Amino acid sequence: MTSVTVRTPAKINLVLRVGPRRPDGYHTLATVYQAIGLYDDVRARPSETGEFSVHVHGGQAHLVPSDESNLAVRAAQLLAHQYGVDAGVALHIHKQIPVAGGMAGGSSDAAAALVACTELWGLHVPRERMSELAAQLGSDVAFCLWGGTALGSGRGEVISPVLARGVFHWVVALAGGGLSTPRVYAELDRLRGTEATPAPHVGPQVMLALREGSSEALGAALGNDLQCAATSLRPDLLQTLDVGEDAGALGAMVSGSGPTTVFLAADAEHADAIAGSLSEAGVCEAVLTAVGPVPGGRVVG
């Protein structure tokens, strides 16, 4: 086999409830993930030198590490180590998912590298084993393998599918600069102070909205506990959210740890109108539209 290419989606959190900080430094989460149609392509081909390497292409490529600290490289190394594969791999990432944007771009590349290298090396890795490896790499890598719409618990790595009907139309506003996920969680801890935090819980509204396929109901059910921390670090995001809301978005929120913001529209035309308002107001770096849910990482070539 000469190469394997995997197309892998961005994620958003429809609801992100953050519980107490655990002794290992992670926070317990209750979240509903949705994969949306904004993709990175990860190509794996045999390495001529026997080493692990990565090249990243695309607008924000310069922001992505191209050494062994890249999560996709670590995914390939972990898989090789676990299955006794005595070969390296050359990874090429075509990046479209915002970098450090709160959309799991790095995690999604890692999930894609697991899928691509499994195929390239002809391994038979049961789905549960793949999820375990994914969880070792990061909290939302396992979801990126699954895609669709799913409930995440634990630190986000325990995934169970959720029934979702219909198609949801999202507007994604990219913000320059990026935000460090650990920093946003630390800011949340600071804002919360010493108050005891209850165990996180996803309410029934979001599940009902998804089951009905109702964009109006989903818009009203969106919620992100990290939003106050992200906007505390990046107050400019409040203006972006306001513009999207004024343009008639059914829901508006920071995506994950930010600084990307997402807006739910009623249909494709409405999404274009919201995107137009955001661009015109000059409150973000770029605007994209995407539908969800979409499948997790898939071999496309």
Q: Which of 88, 156, 200, 219 binds ligand C5P (CB under 6 A)?
A: 156
Give the C-alpha separation, 180 to 232, whole Å.
13
Separation in Å, CA 78 to CA 49, 124, 134:
18, 15, 10
Nearer to ligand C5P, 47 or 153 (CB): 153
Q: What is the nearest approach in angstroms of ligand C5P to the Cβ of residue 163?
A: 24
Catalytic residues: 11, 140
Do residues 44 and 159 lie in contact, with contact meaning Cβ atoms separated by under 8 Å? Answer: no
- DSSP conformational letter for 251: E
Phi, psi of 237 (to 5 degrees): -65, -25
- Write the burial class of residue 77 (CB in 10 Å: 0-12 exposed, 13-18 middle, 19+ buried): middle
Q: Residue 248's CB: how many other CB atoms inside 10 A?
A: 13
Query: Hey, which residues between 14 and 43 contact ligand C5P (CB under 6 A)?
Result: 25-27, 29
Convert residues 231-270 into a mask of x (bound to ligand C5P by CB under 6 A) and - (unbound): ----------------------------------------
How many residues bind ligand C5P (CB under 6 A)? The answer is 11
User: Which residues inside 158-187 make contact with ligand C5P, applying CB under 6 A?
Assistant: 181-182, 185
- Asked if 98 is part of the footprint of ligand C5P (rule: CB under 6 A), the reply reads no
Q: Which is nearer to ligand C5P, 166 or 182 (CB)?
A: 182
Contacting residue, 98, 102, 105, 138, with ligand C5P by CB under 6 A = 138
Phi, psi of 113 (to 5 degrees): -65, -40
**Interface positions with ligand C5P (CB under 6 A):** 25-27, 29, 138-139, 155-156, 181-182, 185
